[in-house]
Amino acid sequence: MAKNVLVVGGGPGGASAAYWLARNGVDVHLVEKKRYPREKACGDALTPRAIKQLLDMGFDFDGLGLHRVEGLRAYAGGLKMEMGWPEHSVYPNWGATMRRADLDGIVAGMAEAQGAVIEQGTTAMPIVEHDRVIGVTLKNDEGERTVHPDLVIIADGSNSRFGRGVGATRRKDLPFGLAVRAYYETPNSDDRFIESQLDIRDARGRSMPGYGWVFPLGDGEINVGAGLISTFKGWKDINTSHILDAYSASLPEHWKVDADTPHTKPLGGKLPMSFSVGPKVGQNWLVIGDASGAVNPFNGEGIDYAYETGRMAAEWVSEAAAGDDTVLRGYAEELESTYGDYHRVARVFVKAIGNPLIMRSLTTVGLRSKPLMEWTLKVMANLLDPDEAHMTEHVYNAIEKVVNVGK
Ligand SMILES: Cc1cc2nc3c(=O)[nH]c(=O)nc-3n(C[C@H](O)[C@H](O)[C@H](O)COP(=O)(O)OP(=O)(O)OC[C@H]3O[C@@H](n4cnc5c(N)ncnc54)[C@H](O)[C@@H]3O)c2cc1C
C-alpha radius of gyration, the chain, whole number: 21
Residue 137 included in any domain = yes
Q: How is 11-22 classified by DSSP, letter by letter? A: SHHHHHHHHHHH
Whose CA is closest to 162, among 326, 39, 311, 288? 288
Indicate whether residue 34 lines ligand 1 (CB < 6 A): yes
Contacts of 322 (CB under 8 A, 6+ apart): 3
Average pLDDT, the chain: 92
Q: Is the CB of 380 under 6 A from ligand 1?
A: no
C-beta of residue 358 within 8 angstroms of C-beta of residue 199: no
Distance separating alpha carbons of residues 376 and 369, to the nearest angstrom: 10
Report pLDDT for 387: 80
How many Å from the N-terminal Cα to the C-terminal Cα in the chain?
A: 61
- Is 385 within a domain? yes
Q: Are residues 64 and 160 in the same domain?
A: yes
Express each pLDDT in 7-42 by its tens digit. 999 999 999 999 999 999 999 999 999 999 999 999
- Spatial separation of the C-alpha atoms in residues 304 and 46, rounded to whole Å: 7
Q: Is 155 in the pocket of ligand 1 (CB under 6 A)?
A: yes
Is the C-beta atom of 153 inside 6 A of ligand 1?
no
Residue 90 — very low, low, confident or very high, per pLDDT cuts 50/70/90?
very high
Are 213 and 106 within one domain?
no
304 CB within 6 A, ligand 1: yes
Q: Same domain for 334 and 258?
A: no
Distance CA 10, CA 163 (A): 15
The strand pair at 45-46 and 267-272 is best described as unpaired
Q: Are residues 279 and 354 in the same domain?
A: no
Q: Which atom of ligand 1 is nearest to the CA of 291?
A: 26
For the segment 170-187, the average pLDDT, to the nearest whole number, is 95
233 and 143 together in one domain: no
Helix, coil or strand: residue 265 = coil
Single out the residue of 26, 117, 109 nearest to residue 317, CA to CA: 26
Which of 223, 253, 271 delimits the end of a domain? 271
Percent of the chain whose pLDDT exceeds 70: 95
195: Cβ below 6 Å to ligand 1? no
Per the domain annotation, does 399 fall within a domain? Answer: yes
- Asked whether residue 192 is domain-assigned, the answer is yes
DSSP assignment of 270-318 equals EEEBTT-EE-SB-SSEEE-GGGGT-B-TTT---HHHHHHHHHHHHHHHH
Q: Which of 338, 367, 394 is the last residue of a domain?
A: 338
Q: Answer yes or no: is pLDDT of 377 > 90.
A: no
The answer to whether the CB of 151 falls within 8 A of the CB of 135 is no
Q: Ligand 1 centroid to 290 CA: how many Å?
A: 6
- Is residue 83 domain-resident? no
Ligand 1: centre distance to CA 268 (Å) = 11
Whether residue 282 sits in one domain with residue 329: yes
What number is the average pLDDT over the span 91-100? 98
* Residues 79-89: tens digit of each pLDDT: 999 999 999 99
CA 292 vs CA 63, 238, 244, 298, 319: distances in Å: 31, 25, 27, 17, 21
> Is 82 part of a structural domain of the chain?
no
- Tell which one of 42, 122, 273 to mutate to probe ligand 1, the residue whose CB is within 8 A of the most ligand atoms: 42
Q: Does 249 have pLDDT greater than 60?
A: yes
Query: Residue 158 CA: which ligand 1 atom is closest?
Result: 30
> What's the CA gap between 186 and 113, in Å, rounded?
36
What is the predicted pLDDT for the residue at 405?
Answer: 52
Please say if the pLDDT value at position 374 is more than 80.
yes
Assess whether the C-beta atom of 293 lies below 6 angstroms from ligand 1: no
Residue 102 near residue 219, CB atoms below 8 Å: no
Residue 160 · residue 290 · CB < 8 Å: yes
Q: State whether 165 and 244 are in the same domain.
A: no
pLDDT digits (tens, 9 = 90+) for 313-372: 999 999 999 999 999 999 999 999 999 999 998 998 888 888 877 887 778 777 888 888
Q: Are residues 258 and 278 in the same domain?
A: no
Least confident of 10-24, 70-84, 178-192: 70-84
Report if residue 143 sits inside a domain. yes
Question: Is residue 31 within 6 Å of ligand 1 at its C-beta?
Answer: yes
- Is the Cβ atom of 273 under 6 angstroms away from ligand 1? no
pLDDT for residue 295: 98
Kindly report the protein residue whose alpha carbon is nearest to atom 29 of ligand 1: 11
| Ligand 1, atom nearest to 156 Cα | 34
User: Is the Cβ atom of 33 under 6 angstroms away from ligand 1?
Assistant: yes
Does residue 407 have a pLDDT over 60?
Answer: no
Q: Which domain holds residue 391?
A: 343-406
Please give the average per-residue pLDDT across 156-162, as a whole number. 98
- CATH number, position 207: 3.30.9.10
Last residue of a domain, one of 229, 244, 271: 271
Q: For ligand 1, atom 33, name the residue with the nearest CA.
A: 9
Give the pLDDT confidence score for residue 403 in this predicted structure.
56
Ligand 1 proximity of 212 Cβ (cutoff 6 Å): no
200 and 152 co-located in one domain: no
Report the distance separating Cα 84 and Cα 94, nearest Å.
8
> Contact at 8 Å (CB) between 302 and 171?
no
Q: What is the pLDDT of residues 129-149, one digit of tens each?
A: 999 999 999 999 999 999 999
Q: Give the span between the Cα atoms of 265 and 176, in whole angstroms.
A: 24
380 and 315 together in one domain: no
How much is the pLDDT for 353?
Answer: 83
Give the per-residue pLDDT at 64: 85
66 lines ligand 1 (CB under 6 A): no
- Asked whether residue 334 falls in the same domain as residue 348, the answer is no
**17: CA distance to ligand 1 center in Å?**
14
- Which residue, 26, 41, 231, is CA-closest to 149? 26
Number of domains in the chain: 3
CATH number at residue 330: 3.50.50.60
- Write b or e for each residue in 334-346: b if 16 or more Cβ atoms lie within 10 A of its Cβ, otherwise e: bbeeebeebbebb
Which amino acid residue places its CA nearest to atom 10 of ligand 1?
301
Q: Are 231 and 169 in contact (CB under 8 A)?
A: no
The residue nearest atom 53 of ligand 1, judged by CA position, is 269
Q: Is the CB of 302 under 6 A from ligand 1?
A: yes
Q: What is the pLDDT of residues 272-308, one digit of tens each?
A: 999 999 999 999 999 999 999 999 999 999 999 999 9
Q: Is residue 87 part of a domain?
A: no
Verify that 234 and 281 share a domain, yes or no.
no
Note the helical H segments in 121-237: 161-165
Dihedral in degrees, nearest 10, Cα atoms 49, 50, 52, 55: -170
The length of the chain in residues reads 407
